[in-house]
Amino acid sequence: MKNHVRFALLAKAGYAARGLVFLLVAGLALFSGLTDGTPETKSALSTLLQQPFGRVWVGLIGVGLLGFVAWRLAQSLADADRHGRDVKAMIIRSALFGSAITYIGLAAYALGHAFAVGGTSGGSGEKGLAGWIMSQPFGSYLAIAVGVGFIVGGGMTALKGVTGKFRRYIRLDERSAASWICIYGLLARGAVFAVTGVLFVFAGIHVNPDEAGSMADALEWVRHLPFGGILYAAVAIGLAAFGIYNLIEARYRIVRSPSLKDVTKSIPSTR
């Protein structure tokens, strides 16, 4: 029982850390005209570093994100949420594993900058990822595949909000204000994911990693649409709602601590 409680606290600390990061990103997006920061996760952490006790806060967020990585690995490898082993379940678990890899990088960035003597510059990891992908054999095709993965992931995130499936793991009244905030946040996060994926696909088609988009690029793309200013503000506020959604998960998320038996059951049978 004690191990279960400790793991639940680890996972919930991870959700809280991710929630704070997205609230910072939303703040940068809404006040980008008044600040030098760009609305990306790393830039948000770099901005926080410049505040009083910034290194302490960024270090705590980094530790929390490591907890989130542990939880994502439990969801993907040990099937802690009990999705199963069919094709749909394996797609979901693969996406969760990809999320774990992403947040390993963000946690390392946070901890590295919290304890480093200097160097607090931000920047998106997406363009670096695109550059690395395109340096590999068949890199342009891989970039297109990654972009499609972002688009599918964005669609699944938005669908999770529209269908209310997130309530499967969160104890919330579907008519509550908190529930509507979760839906709004998931829709906004899904939209940004999908636009990032489209930019990755364009980068792969044109064999130009500079065209691969970050969260800031996705928001800038939205800004140039008809009624772009209104849409930009709506998505930025939606990212804040996604941050609040994570804080709600930190409080109410059902967390099942995995066991070795769960890991064994979660592996697809080859027979």
137-176: pLDDT as tens digits: 777 888 888 888 889 889 999 999 999 889 888 888 888 9
Q: Measured between alpha carbons, how far is residue 116 from residues 20, 53, 57, 104, 228 in Å?
A: 21, 14, 14, 18, 39
pLDDT digits 0-9 by tens, 173-193 = 888 999 999 999 999 999 998
Find the radius of gyration of the CA atoms of the chain: 18
**pTM (2 decimals)?**
0.83
- Distance in angstroms (rounded) separating the CA atoms of residues 2 and 49: 34
Asked whether residue 198 is domain-assigned, the answer is yes
Which residue, among 139, 145, 240, 264, has the nearest Cα to 192 in the 3D structure? 240
Q: What is the pLDDT of residue 28?
A: 87
Structural domain contains residue 76: yes
- What CA–CA distance (Å, rounded) separates 69 from 171? 23
From the list 117, 20, 82, the residue with the least C-alpha distance to 258 is: 82
Q: Is residue 81 part of a domain?
A: yes
Considering only residues 178 and 268, tell me which one the structure prediction assigns the higher pLDDT: 178
Based on the structure, what is the number of domains in the chain? 1
Pairwise CA distance, residues 52 & 55, whole Å: 8
Average pLDDT, rounded, for the chain: 83
Indicate whether 269 belongs to any domain. Answer: no
In a domain, 234, yes or no: yes
In a domain, 263, yes or no: no
Among 26-35, 60-69, 80-89, 255-264, the range of highest mean pLDDT:
60-69
Q: How confident is the model at residue 71 (pLDDT cuts 50, 70, 90)?
A: very high
* CA-based max dimension of the chain: 60
Task: Look at residue 35 and tell me whether its pLDDT is greater than 70.
Answer: no
| C-beta of residue 250 within 8 angstroms of C-beta of residue 13 | yes
Where would I find the beta strands (DSSP E) of 114-219?
Answer: none
268 occurs within a structural domain: no
Across the range 20-33, mean pLDDT stands at 85
**Domain of 17?**
2-257
Q: Which residue has the tokens 């409080």?
A: 251
Answer whether 147's CB lies under 8 Å from 217's CB: no
Angstrom distance (rounded) from CA 45 to CA 57: 9
Tell me the average pLDDT across 117-134: 55
Is residue 227 included in any domain, yes or no? yes
